[in-house]
A = this chain, B = another copy of it.
């Protein structure tokens, strides 16, 4: 947004104060990117006894006559919040890394929350998991070796395993509690771990990648939480460099890349870094995910120098991968039309993110049926 109605609405590049990233690092974080008191009690909490760390806990109403509505308040970014009604809290523990919460909601099914931020819901996880997986895997012919960074819920594994060409899937997730909780409460996602091609590594992805053989992977998918807290390192240059090294020539990375409505400065930073690191192509794509901030999530999708990759027109369309549409369960969101459409960007984004100004090297034809 610029000028006029958009005055002052763009992402503030001035720092609104220091945010601790919970990681010992004191890197300044723009105020629009602070998790808005995700795990700290709100001021209102001092007023209303039902508010605990940003969410309403179950209780009877004052009069005792009405059963109080119980909401989980997802404190997305300063100035807004998305609330989901809570039917039942199923799990709440602190792991070594973060607070893990699972509850049942009537509108979106079971919900996984890490450090106060919604990670996935049963109703709309299909959009995120399918897009972050098939955008890269359908853009290269015959993917064989795949690495998933994060993704402890197993949803990305479920999607990778649709690809019959894949021989080996490494996953490196830092928090074992996320895996255990998913196996208990989200069997439709954790089913991904059952594939015999999957090799689980519980640990730090930065460390894991440092020891990965050069050029090992055809595709790497970074399914991390927001780049505040334990995932901070995952949007910095050294990490992208180790990724590029672990990819074969013409190998591809797909990385969760925030909201085009809220975080153009983060998107710009990530694209800048990736343009320096990946000498093939670098694109931005997006999808609709209702329970993520502003209802969208972006993907940064890059290839290393080597055989050119045309991300916009999938060379390995999912509709032609044997058995892919129904493997484990039906494909719910992704299809080849949506793949291509995901690269069509709003004018304000192209204007605000200077790296998206120009046109990419190819203007491929895509088909909408």
Contact = CB atoms under 8 A, between A and B. Distances in A.
Interface string A332-360: 11110110111111111001000000011
A35 to B, nearest CB: 15
B62 A46 contact: yes
A1 B122 CA distance: 10
Contacts of A106: 78-79
A353 B63 CA distance: 44
Nearest to A79: B107
Interface string A94-113: 00000000000111110000
Given A82-B82, A290-B295, A366 B369 contact: no
A332 B344 contact: no
A84 interface: yes
Interface stretch (A66-74, A168-176, A203-211, A227-235): A66-74
Contacts of A239: none
A109 B341 contact: no
A36 to B, nearest CB: 10
Interface string A176-194: 0000000000101000000
A290 B296 CA distance: 8
Contact of A288 (B44, B63, B124, B295): B295
Interface stretch (A4-12, A144-152, A272-280): A4-12
Q: Which of A82, A363, A364 has the largest count of B CB atoms less than 10 A from its CB?
A: A82
A43 interface: yes
Contact of A79 (B2, B108, B289, B344): B108
B79 A66 contact: no
B329 A340 contact: no
A365 interface: yes
A331 interface: yes
Interface string A21-64: 00000000000000000000011101110000000000001110
28 contacts: A1-B123, A1-B332, A5-B329, A6-B332, A7-B109, A8-B109, A9-B107, A9-B123, A46-B63, A47-B61, A78-B107, A79-B106, A80-B83, A80-B105, A123-B261, A286-B288, A288-B295, A288-B346, A332-B348, A335-B347, A340-B341, A344-B368, A360-B369, A363-B367, A364-B367, A365-B365, A365-B366, A366-B366
